[in-house]
Amino acid sequence: MKSLKFVGSSLDDLRDFPEEARRAAGFELRAIQDGFEPRDWKPVQTVGPGVKEIRIHILGEWRIIYVAKLHDSIYVLHVFQKKSRKTSQRDIDLARNRYKQIGV
C-alpha cells in the first residue's frame, strides 16, 4: 500500500471539509492507496503529468488534486472547495507549485 503525503496545507484544508465530504475524501484516498481509481476523477495535465483531481459532490463541490504515479507515495497537492464552474487559476497555480516542490 502506498503512503499518503500531504503537501503544504492540504491536510489542514482537508480537515476543514464538512464531515460527510471528509469521510468521502478518506474513502477515495484509501481506494487509491489500495490501487484503485477514485469513483469520480479527471486528469489535470495543466498541473503536471500524472496529476488527477478527485471530485466530491457532497454538501457542495470539493476537490483533491493528487499525483500517484510515483512508486512509493501518493502526494496530495491541493484540497479545496470549488465555488465556480471553472477551477480558479489560483488553485491551479498552487497545485502546480506544490507539484514542483515534490521534485517530480
- CA distances from residue 15 to 22, 35, 40, 53, 80 in whole angstroms, order as listed: 7, 24, 20, 18, 11
Task: Count structural domains, the chain.
Answer: 1
The pTM of the full predicted model, rounded to 2 decimals, is: 0.94
> What pLDDT does 3 receive?
93
Q: How far apart are CA 47 and CA 68, in angstroms?
A: 13
Q: What residue numbers bound the domain in which 51 lies?
A: 3-101
pLDDT < 50: residue spans in the chain: none
- Residue 91 has a CB neighbour count (10 Å cut-off) of 20
**Could you tell me the CATH number of the domain that includes residue 55?**
3.30.2310.20
pLDDT at 71: 73
